[in-house]
A = this chain, B = another copy of it.
Amino acid sequence: MPHKKLKLADLAKLAGVSTSTASRALNDNPLIKKETRERVQKLAKEHNFSLNAAASRLRLQKTKVIAVLINLDSETEQSIDDPFLLKVVSDINLAVNRQGYELLLSNSFMAGIDWYGYFIDGRRADGVIVVGQGKQQALIDNAAKAGMPLVVWGDPKTDADYVVVGSDNFLGGELAAEHLIAKGAKNPMFLGDPAHAELSERYSGFCAGAERAGVTATQLLKIDITSQAAYDAINHKLRSDGLDFDGIFACSDMVALGAMKALKERYVSIPNDVHVVGFDDIAMADISFPSLTTIRQDTRQAGELLVKKLLAQLNGQKVSSSQLDIALIERQSS
Binding site for B on A (CB under 8 A): 1, 3, 5-6, 48-55, 57-58, 63, 68, 77, 79-81, 83, 86-87, 89-91, 93-94, 97, 102-107, 109-110, 114, 116-118, 121-124, 145-147, 227-228, 231, 254, 257-258, 260-261, 264-265, 283-284, 286-289, 291, 300
Q: Which residues of B contact A81 (CB under 8 A)?
A: 87, 90, 283
Q: Which residues of B contact A87 (CB under 8 A)?
A: 79, 81, 86
Nearest Cβ distance between residue A41 and chain B, in whole angstroms?
A: 15
Q: Which of B54, B109, B261, B289 contacts A264 (CB 8 A)?
A: B289
Nearest Cβ distance between residue A141 and chain B, in whole angstroms?
A: 14
Bound together, the chains give a CA A81 to CA B122 distance in angstroms of 33
Question: Would you call B283 and A261 a contact (CB within 8 A)?
Answer: no
Question: Would you call B57 and A54 a contact (CB within 8 A)?
Answer: yes
Q: Output the residue of A54, A147, A265 with the most chain B CB within 10 A.
A: A54
Secondary structure dominating the interface of A: helix
Given A51-B122, A104-B103, A106-B102, do A146 and B3 touch, yes or no (CB 8 Å)? yes
Bound together, the chains give a CA A105 to CA B90 distance in angstroms of 10
Bound together, the chains give a CA A202 to CA B300 distance in angstroms of 33
Question: Would you call B122 and A50 a contact (CB within 8 A)?
Answer: yes
Q: How many copies does the complex hold?
A: 2
Bound together, the chains give a CA A48 to CA B120 distance in angstroms of 12
Q: Which residues of B contact A289 (CB under 8 A)?
A: 260-261, 264-265, 289
Q: Which of B86, B103, B147 contacts A86 (CB 8 A)?
A: B86
Known A52-B121, A83-B86, A284-B284; further 20 A-B contacts with Cβ < 8 A: A48-B116, A48-B121, A52-B58, A52-B123, A54-B63, A58-B58, A80-B86, A86-B89, A93-B107, A102-B124, A227-B283, A228-B286, A231-B287, A254-B283, A260-B289, A261-B287, A261-B288, A261-B289, A265-B289, A289-B289
